[in-house]
Chain A
Amino acid sequence: QSVLTQPPSASGTPGQRVTISCSGSSSNIGSNTVNWYQQLPGTAPKLLIFSNNQRPSGVPDRFSGTKSGTSASLAISGLQSEDEADYYCAAWDDSLKGPEVFGGGTKLTVL
Chain B
Amino acid sequence: EVQLVQSGAEVKKPGESLKISCKGSGFIFSSYWIGWVRQMPGKGLEWMGIIYPGDSDTRYSPSFQGQVTISADKSISTAYLQWSSLKASDTAMYFCARLLAVAGRRHLDFWGQGTLVTVSS
Contact = CB atoms under 8 A, between A and B. Distances in A.
B111 A46 contact: yes
A45 B93 CA distance: 12
B26 interface: no
A73 interface: no
Majority DSSP secondary structure for residues of B touching A: strand
Given A44-B113, A51-B105, A88 B45 contact: yes
Interface residues of B, number: 26
Given A44-B111, A44-B114, A102 B46 contact: yes
Contacts of B107: 33, 35, 47, 50-51, 90
Nearest to A48: B107
Nearest to B103: A51
A92 B106 contact: yes
Interface of A: 2, 32-33, 35, 37, 39, 44-47, 50-51, 56, 86, 88, 90, 92, 96-105
24 contacts: A2-B44, A44-B111, A44-B112, A45-B45, A45-B95, A45-B111, A46-B111, A47-B107, A47-B109, A47-B110, A50-B105, A50-B107, A50-B109, A51-B105, A51-B107, A86-B44, A98-B59, A98-B61, A99-B50, A99-B59, A100-B35, A100-B108, A102-B44, A102-B46
